[in-house]
Amino acid sequence: MTPAKQPISVLVVIHTPAADVLLLERAAHPGFWQSVTGSREGHETLLDTACREVAEETGIALPASHYIDWQLSNSYEIFPEWRHRYAAGVTVNVEHVFSLCLPTCVDITTSPDEHRAWQWLPWRDAAERCFSWSNRDAILLLPERLHNRT
């Protein structure tokens, strides 16, 4: 039996310095586009979760030092269709936002059971395409985050 998912997750906005953003289309939900997301496993740190999820979902394996922890979290209701993955009575997830800047748009290798397609889009277009409000809002913050780093 698979252990229940923890209601603690990461959202990793992968982008370029020009603010092009990588989006993935969910395999089970065509038309649902998102950044890399995933739940914490065991006692791993949130940064370790971000690194693991990016590697699993894109094939990009970079050291933790490449990631930026935005010190931003969002709480949201877990979709009813996905609640069976969590312990009984769990209805809310807390998502922690990270980013990963790559020098240029790169080809990735998706996990076919999770994602069916991927694309790089300018940040505004990527934000519009996201099905998740928290993902959209994170992408909309990206230009400010990039400006503050320079």
The C-alpha atoms of residue 54 and residue 86 are separated, in whole angstroms, by 22
Are the beta carbons of 102 and 14 closer than 8 angstroms?
yes
Q: What is the pLDDT of residues 42-64, one digit of tens each?
A: 999 999 999 999 999 999 999 99
Average pLDDT over residues 93-121: 96
Q: Which residues 6+ apart lie within 8 Å of 101 measured at CB?
A: 15, 16, 17, 66, 68
Q: What tokens does 97 get? A: 């936002």
Please check the confidence at residue 150 and state whether its pLDDT lies above 70: no
The C-alpha atoms of residue 149 and residue 135 are separated, in whole angstroms, by 20
Average pLDDT over residues 97-104: 98
Give domain 8-149's CATH superfamily: Nucleoside Triphosphate Pyrophosphohydrolase (3.90.79.10)
Average pLDDT over residues 121-132: 97
pLDDT the model gives residue 148 = 81
